[in-house]
Each structure stands twice: as C-alpha cells, then as structure tokens.
C-alpha cells in the first residue's frame, strides 16, 4: 500500500510477528521491506535477536518486530533467552500476526499461541506456505480448528516465499493501526546498526554451510571495523564451543573458512553497497550458550543494538 485515500489519516504502530521456529516470520518481513534484514535458513532458531523492521509508505509506518521462534527446547541459557525475547514481543504492540504453516500444528505452535493470547492487541491469523498445499479444501477444517480454539480478528492466507497475497494483509494491518506521526525517520529501515547486520550475514553463511555438522553453538562478533577510502575493513570473530567445531569451520587447509569468507564478503558488499576486505578468525569459548555473562558479552541482550 503506497498511497492513502484522501480521507484517511497517516498511521503508525508496532506489529509483532509471532510463531514457532521456521514458520516463515523472517521471510515475510524481508518480503514486506523488499530488503534482507533477517537471515533465513532451514535450521530452527536462525533468528536469535529481536529486530525492528521499519516499513514506511505514504500511508503509514509499520514497525514489524521479528523475533526468535518460540520453541520447546530447554536447558541452555541461550534457549531461555530466545524464548523470553520472543514472549516479550507481544506486549505494547498494536497488532499481532500469528504465523502458522498451512496444515501443520505442533506443540511449539501451541506454545506460541499462548504467548499471542496474552496480548491485548488485534490478532491476525496468517496461514503461510499455502503454495505447498495441493488440495486447498484441506485448509478449511485446519483453520476451523484453530479458530475454534483461539480468538482472531482476521484470517489471511499467504505465501511469504512466493510473495503472494501480502498486499491485502498490509491493508488490514493499516486499518488496525492508530493515527499518528512516524515513530522513526522515514528513511530508517531498522533499529539495528550496520555492524549488527554484518555479523548476521556472516552467521547466515555458517548456517547454510554447516547446518548438518554444527548445532546452535556458533555466533559472530565484530572485532574491528574501519573505513579507509572506499574500502571497508572488517575483522570478525566466529565463536564456537569446542575445538572440533573450530576444525570443521576452518576445514582442510583452510578451504571451508575461505569459502565462508568469500560468500559473506559478497553478501556484505551487496548490503552496504561498498567494497569490503573481510578477515575471519575462529575462536573457542567453552559452553558459551550456557553462560549468562558470555551470552551478554556476545550481544544477546534486549538492549544490545550493535
């Protein structure tokens, strides 16, 4: 939606996107903004931070909150932090989008639904991945069961990956937003810094290459970032928990880390629209995912923006 009706007022507000891991939240937000803000992979818990994605048009400013998927895994301090971050996202927002995968309902969906129910905001059930449903008549009983168990103000069917039926959903979100001035500058697309997105782009390449070999114990931080002329010089650390994980990432004669560096550099150059000299180091911090101080030091706090 690009232009408001002449009788309509400018609106702005917050929209929480809630659901279990791998249901398509980040893909949806990337499509709405037509820019890659949230990294995407087939591995659950790819999203680890709460990210504000700011969609500004002539009619409204919609501030989408992309959150980690709400999951049932327990144990590490990192897992607990991810769930707490996701659960807090539904408070103080104007609209909640509850994303589910068409014809799929799990215990993690049920847990996410409990978080959604705690919000006083308008609630929209978004059935995603409808492009995968061959027999559309199967959707009706599936949706009827969800509506029978939970209250929703609207129901929408989309394919975030195929960018289908997003516009009608955005129009409904607009209707639910309060009248108000933009919350952020109109040219701002997120509350996160460039450094943050660079670490995420590096981590995405790690997830893509090692989604089978490595668990969730990989993270990235920027050690140095300097601009000299037209070249951006970036030194980043890749943190793992064990020496064997370090060996996997480095690979035989450094081949794996070299390929990660090439692909990450290309992604970063596309994002910042500048030439990049990227250097990566792999370091070991034993059991960092279960160490609260280590988690905070590596950026996993709600206040962390860099």
What's the pLDDT band for 160 if we cut at 50, 70, 90?
very high
pLDDT class of 303 with cuts at 50, 70, 90:
very low
Question: CB neighbours (10 Å) of residue 2?
Answer: 7
CA nearest to 203, candidates 177, 183, 222, 175: 222
In this predicted model, what pLDDT tens digit does every residue of 2-17 receive, in sequence order?
544 544 689 999 999 9
Over residues 194-213, the mean pLDDT reads: 87
Per-residue pLDDT at 291: 56
CA-to-CA distance for 180 and 168, rounded, in angstroms? 21
Residue extents of the structural domains in the chain: 11-176, 194-297
In the chain, helix, strand, coil percent, each to 5? 40, 25, 40
Q: Report whether 16 contacts 67 (CB < 8 A).
A: yes
* CA–CA dist 87, 70 (Å, integer): 8
Q: What is the pLDDT of residue 289?
A: 63
What burial letters (b/e) apply to 36-69, b meaning 16+ CB within 10 Å? Answer: bbbbbbebbbbbbbbbbbbbbeebbbbbbbbbbb
For domain 11-176, give the fold: Rossmann fold (3.40.50)
**pLDDT class of 22 with cuts at 50, 70, 90:** confident
pLDDT at residue number 26: 87
In terms of Cα–Cα distance, which of 154, 138, 68 is closest to 105?
A: 138
Paired tokens of 192? 């996160």
Residues making up the chain, counted from first to last: 306
Residues 6+ apart with CB under 8 A from 302: 50, 85, 88
The whole-angstrom distance between residue 131's C-alpha and the CA centroid of its chain comes to: 21
The angle at the Cα of 135, spanning 150 to 41, to the nearest 5 degrees, equals 70
What pLDDT score was predicted for residue 36? Answer: 78
Alpha-helical runs (H) found in 97-193: 107-117, 139-149, 166-176
281 vs 306, higher pLDDT: 281
Confidence of residue 179 (pLDDT cuts 50, 70, 90): very high
pLDDT in tens, 219-266: 899 999 999 999 999 999 999 888 999 999 999 999 999 999 999 999
User: Can you tell me whether residue 257 is helix, strand or coil?
Assistant: helix
Superfamily of domain covering 194-297: K homology (KH) domain (3.30.300.20)
Q: Angle 107-117/77-88 helices, nearest 10 degrees?
A: 50
293 vs 32: which has the higher pLDDT:
32
User: What's the pLDDT score for residue 300?
Assistant: 59
Q: Which residues contact 69 (CB under 8 A, 6 or more apart)?
A: 19, 20, 21, 22, 23, 25, 44, 45, 47, 82, 86, 108, 112
Give the alpha-carbon dihedral of 105, 108, 109, 113, to 10 degrees.
150
Q: What is the pTM for the complete model shown?
A: 0.78
């Amino acid at each position: 939606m690009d232009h408001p009706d002449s009788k309509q007022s400018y609106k702005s507000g917050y929209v929480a996107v809630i659901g279990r891991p791998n249901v398509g939240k980040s893909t949806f937000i990337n499509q709405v903004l037509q820019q890659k803000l949230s990294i995407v992979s087939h591995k659950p818990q790819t999203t680890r931070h709460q990210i504000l994605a700011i969609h500004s048009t002539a009619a409204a400013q919609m501030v989408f909150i992309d959150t980690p998927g709400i999951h049932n895994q327990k144990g590490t301090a990192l897992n607990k932090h991810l769930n707490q971050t996701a659960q807090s996202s539904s408070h103080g927002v104007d609209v909640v989008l509850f994303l589910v995968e068409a014809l799929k309902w799990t215990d993690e969906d049920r847990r996410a639904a409990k978080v959604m129910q705690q919000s006083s905001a308008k609630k929209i059930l978004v059935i995603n991945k409808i492009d995968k449903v061959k027999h559309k008549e199967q959707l009706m009983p599936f949706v009827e069961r969800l509506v029978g168990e939970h209250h929703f103000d609207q129901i929408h069917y989309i394919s975030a990956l195929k960018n289908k039926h997003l516009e009608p959903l955005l129009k409904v979100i607009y209707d639910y937003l309060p009248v108000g001035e933009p919350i952020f500058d109109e040219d701002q697309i997120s509350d996160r810094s460039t450094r943050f997105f660079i670490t995420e782009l590096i981590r995405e390449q790690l997830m893509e290459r090692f989604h089978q070999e490595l668990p969730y114990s990989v993270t990235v931080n920027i050690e140095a970032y300097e601009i000299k002329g037209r070249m951006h010089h970036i030194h980043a650390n890749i943190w793992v928990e064990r020496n064997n994980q370090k060996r996997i990432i480095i690979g035989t004669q450094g081949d794996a880390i070299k390929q990660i560096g090439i692909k990450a550099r290309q992604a970063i150059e596309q994002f910042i629209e500048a030439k990049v000299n990227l250097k990566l180091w792999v370091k070991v911090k034993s059991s960092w995912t279960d160490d609260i101080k280590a988690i905070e030091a590596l950026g996993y706090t709600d206040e962390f923006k860099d």
